[in-house]
Chains A and B, each alone.
Chain A
Amino acid sequence: MAQQTSETFEQNARQALTDTQLRGALRNLADTFGDRRRLALKTVDNWEALRERGRAIKAETLAHLDKYLESFANNAESAGAKLHWARDAAEARAIVIGLLREKNAQLVVKSKSMTTEELHLNEALETVGFFPVETDLGEWIIQLAHETPSHIVVPAIHKSKKQIAQLFSAKLGIAPTDDVDVLTGTARSVLRERFAGADVGISGVNFGVAETGTILILENEGNVRLTTSLPRTHIAIMGIEKVIPRLVDLDVFLKLLPRSGTGQQLTAYQSLITGTKRSMDDEGPEELHVVILDNGRSRMLSHPVTRQSLACIRCGACLNACPVYQQIGGHAYGSVYPGPIGAIITPQLNGIEKARQLPFASSLCGACREVCPVKIDIPELLLHLRAEIKEGTASGTAGEHGPVKRKLIERLAFRLYAFAWSSQWRYELGMKLARVAQRALSHQGRIGKMGRLLSVLAPPLAAWTDWRDAPTVANRSFRDEWRQHLSIRK
């Protein structure tokens, strides 16, 4: 599979639209997770009030992030955790590599973490001779296939069980099967051996509790528990925005996150980890290292609109609800974080020039805002970023040929339009001409595929006509009808 990037979004999307297997999988995702979520919302008293509490807690935390992050760091340290601070991805990777070397790590197991995907941690570790084993089933599948996640909750959603069976049979030598239980059992038995021998476990963090220094990780499979319990060293990577003030705030987020993500009341397991073990005969790792990552996040604090991006709890509900994601899937975005949330955080994390197309990959329908458990106004953010991009183009900071050229043609087209529409006789003449011209193109009252001819005559129109039918101009105009009506009544 060719590497897709955010810069090639349009081509990626076009390619994805022709992939019928992918589109079937996406339909299954939207239907299944959509239904499960709707059912799960009925199990709380007042969902809207809960969302509002979630939003308010996040807004309060982010507005005073310095205070809460300090408090988290100090409490985690006094509970025995060792804290590391990474301004960017390179620093974070260096910290992890340093720790693995210091521990002389032989076998590293990993649980699913979007933040480590953002760091491209596995690639970096592999280049220096560490080969971390992904242990979440979905992540393990895509690691075996040398692919990237296409969804932040179910990373292998783009693969069919047939493809997974073929993969397992090629890589692990099992007999071909389409029995999901057999595939899952294979993963269990292969990964058990890895867990038994692992000396370092790497995980992400869902929430960091400021008042106790606790990190919390949610999951369903048990691989997070194994990753954070069996090895002697646990390294947790945590974005600065994961902090929440109080332990009891978890009541709100543990209601919001599983219902929004997988439609569960609670995921099977939550691990709340506070520092290191108290005595030698206690269970669990001897060392806990928490790597706190900025990597472009603090920049988002500089405006209340962009700051909302940091409230995200990575549930994936906006992906499942998005009509664009539902058609093209995650890889087309060419970024670690796909879907509506990806369209707003990728340009902010990677720089707007590397993801200029993403804020436009939305119809602004607002479905994402409606399902977001912490009420992030994603459409507002998309418009904010679009404005930044357009302003950049106008001031000449982004001198790409594409947009500038299109702008000239656009300007000409709108001039012509204004010229024709600003006088009655020119407008009526135009309509008459259109009626004659469309005879060759219209079919059952619509200008359909024949409209492609239009795009041959005027290539910029292709962006519109390639995917849409246009209605034809009516045989009689409203004005004609009106005039006739008046004359009859007289």
Chain B
Amino acid sequence: MEKADRIHSGSRQAIMTAIREQLASSEPFNSVHEENRARHEAVGLSGKLPVEQSTSLLERFQQSLNAVGGHCTVVRSEAEATETVRQIVAQSKTRRVAISDSPLVGRVLLPLTADVDLMKGSTKADLFTCDMGVTGAQWAIAETGTLALESDVERHRLASLVPPVHVTIIEAQRIRQTLGEVLLAIDEKGRDLSRTITFITGPSRTSDIELTLAIGVHGPAELHVIVLEETKG
């Protein structure tokens, strides 16, 4: 193993040296190429978007999520959120639900213990037997209908992925307009990024057969987002 490490560090050295040498030999050509490029550069501007309509972040998020095949329900209370989950459970004939360790998810799902098996912190094998996963999300992006999940905040990596139906409960104030805003917010944490950050835009999809859209190939086939406009503690 020690020997192997030495070989690898030799390769690291060799690659870094090659990069430096090749970049140095490029030096004489760089300015000429830059001039040529500037000369050939065609300046073309694509059309501007229509001026942003006065839609709210929430409305825009709903539209974008619908456009990618997700379902959005806006609720005013946790009790309403529970009712929405109950409906999705009934529609999808769900018997087993994997839930994340989010306190909000716990409170919303608690009244459903009589209807379904709630599995928290389930093992890999258990997850494959679940019909639905319920998680929170740390951010939502209005422009694209995207959810952002940060693994250090909540244990939702597998519950949002393995079961065929994924339900997310998110507070309305977590919605941002653009991906850029969310990246900046994540970036503020500096080097302390979550082990995994997952962006989710709609259900799992593929066009690999004749470019025909098929939904739910490996990830969830259904994505439901419940937006809580007023949080009650």
Contact = CB atoms under 8 A, between A and B. Distances in A.
A binds B: yes
Interface of A: 25, 28-29, 32-33, 41-49, 63-66, 69-70, 73, 75, 79, 83-87, 91, 95, 98, 135-138, 141, 154-157, 159-161, 164, 180-181, 183-184, 187-188, 191-192, 195-196, 212, 214, 220-223, 225-226, 229-230, 240, 246-248, 250-251, 254-255, 262, 265-278, 281-284, 292, 294, 298-305, 307, 377
Contacts of B196: 229, 271-274, 283-284
B206 interface: yes
A208 to B, nearest CB: 13
Interface of B: 4, 8-9, 11-12, 14-16, 18-20, 22-23, 25-26, 29-30, 32-34, 37, 40, 43-49, 68, 121, 124-125, 128, 143-144, 146, 151-152, 155, 157-158, 161-162, 178-180, 183-184, 186-187, 191, 193-212, 214, 216-220
Q: What are the nearest 3 A-B pairs in CB distance?
A: A222-B219, A304-B33, A138-B208
12 contacts: A64-B23, A161-B210, A161-B212, A180-B210, A226-B161, A247-B186, A266-B179, A270-B198, A274-B196, A278-B152, A302-B22, A307-B26
A325 B212 CA distance: 21
Given A284-B151, A294-B18, A276 B195 contact: yes
B19 A137 contact: no
A459 to B, nearest CB: 39
B195 A156 contact: no
Given A98-B4, A184-B206, A247-B183, A301 B214 contact: no
A123 to B, nearest CB: 22
A63, A225, A230, A267 pick with most chain B CB within 10 angstroms: A225
Contacts of A69: 16, 19
Given A183-B209, A195-B218, A268-B68, 6 more contacts: A33-B211, A65-B23, A85-B8, A87-B15, A268-B201, A274-B196
A87 B209 contact: no
A138 B219 CA distance: 16
A254 B179 contact: yes
A46 B45 contact: yes
B210 A266 contact: no
B198 A180 contact: no
B63 to A, nearest CB: 12
Contacts of A248: 180, 183-184, 187
A223 B218 contact: yes
A164 B214 CA distance: 15
A317 to B, nearest CB: 15
Contacts of A98: 4
Contacts of B191: 75, 212
Contacts of A305: 29, 33
Nearest to A154: B208
Nearest to A43: B49
Contacts of A250: 183
Contacts of A214: 193
Contacts of B199: 266, 269-270, 272
A268 B205 contact: yes
A79 B62 CA distance: 36
Nearest to A300: B22
A302 B151 CA distance: 41
Contacts of B194: 274
B22 A265 contact: no
A298 B11 CA distance: 13
Contacts of A184: 206, 209, 214, 216-217
Contacts of B162: 226
Nearest to B14: A87
Contact of A304 (B12, B34, B203, B212): B34
B15 A240 contact: yes
Nearest to A55: B37
Contact of A282 (B8, B9, B155, B205): B155
B22, B47, B183, B206 pick with most chain A CB within 10 angstroms: B206
B201 A303 contact: no
B120 to A, nearest CB: 12
Contact of A299 (B22, B33, B180, B186): B22
A259 to B, nearest CB: 11
B200 A181 contact: no
B48 A283 contact: no
A303 B29 contact: yes
B183 A268 contact: no
A95 B23 CA distance: 27
